[in-house]
Chain A
Amino acid sequence: MYPLISRFLGLVSFVSIAAVSMLVLEKSFVFADSALVGEAKQNDPDANLKYLFTVFFLVWAIFFGYIFFLSRRLKEMRNEVAMLKKIISEKE
């Protein structure tokens, strides 16, 4: 299941990064409801985008890291089970 989660998180990360990159690169990007955007921000819609990007990047990176840690632990446990089976069969 963990490789599946990793793949899914990868997909979400990709979508997030792609969306933020689009906001950064596309200067003429119009937000969903630009009427709500203040005059100052309308002139510079991508102000503070780097902070938004940083937040999404870090959140997904840490989630990824944790899932990676879990998948490694699962692999270690499988190895332990195999080792224990071997020890028990040798004793018998």
Chain B
Amino acid sequence: MKTILFAASCTFMLVTVYMVFMWVPTEQNLGVSQRIFYVHVPLGWIGMVSIFVVGIASVIHLLTRKNLWDSIAYSAAELGVIFATLILITGAVWAKPVWGVWWSWDPKLTTTLILWFVYVGYLMVRSFSTPGSQGRRYASVVALIGAIDAPVIYLASIWWRTAHPNLNIGPLAESDSDLDGKMYITFIVSLVTFTIFYVYVMLERVQMRKCEDDLDEVHQYVSLN
């Protein structure tokens, strides 16, 4: 399964790079910088999916107390912080040529920054708490608060006046999208690519996290005997 995902991830990455640089037409108003869109939006998608994964895995962990769900939540949070960092960085770099500033307190940007703080907060709670279930439970609560932020980010461009364009993805995406046919295909391919890459790295990280937990148990056993 993982080998298939790895192969698919490699193939799609190369296809995406080709499509973004060689195949897709350049947008009339934004010029070359619009090609950042094919990276920025999929990263945003993964960032939001990840906090849902953390939230759902945390709820199941709180209910069942099974370590597997905690490993999933921790791995998703770790990946989430990377993707959320990338959303903020790529957004800032794109904002400079388009808006003329690196950062503005736009509702979508602000709520995404809050999401980044939630991810960092989750990992900080985990690293500063003593080994055992208490830190895991506290972190699960942080994750649940963070999960509320994801729909707020998604709906920010509907609820508030924002410099961001209309929704292109998800249940409320407008059917008459502004994107040209080739642009839309490139966008979907990029979205699939990053999703496959995320699933693959996530599976690897969860497996590694389980090994870390097992090692901790062996350490405790060795130190007690």
Contacts and interface: CB of A to CB of B under 8 A. Distances in A.
Contact of A45 (B32, B43, B208, B219): B32
Nearest to A65: B82
A66 B204 CA distance: 12
B89 A51 contact: no
A66 B82 contact: yes
Interface residues of B, number: 45
A48 to B, nearest CB: 4
A32 B23 contact: yes
Contacts of B82: 62-63, 66
A55 B23 contact: no
Contacts of A16: 17, 21
Interface residues of A, number: 46
Contact of B28 (A38, A47, A58, A70): A38
B17 A19 contact: yes
B33 A48 contact: yes
Nearest to A16: B17
Contact of B27 (A1, A36, A73, A74): A36
Contact of A51 (B2, B6, B33): B33
Interface string A8-45: 10011001100110010000000111111110010001
A59 B32 contact: no
Interface of A: 1-2, 4-5, 8, 11-12, 15-16, 19-20, 23, 31-38, 41, 45-49, 51-52, 54-56, 58-59, 62-63, 66, 70, 73-74, 77, 80-81, 84, 87-88, 91
Interface of B: 2, 6, 10, 13-14, 17, 21-29, 31-33, 35-36, 39-40, 43, 82, 85-86, 89-90, 93-94, 96-97, 180, 182, 201, 204-205, 208, 211-212, 215, 218-219, 222, 225
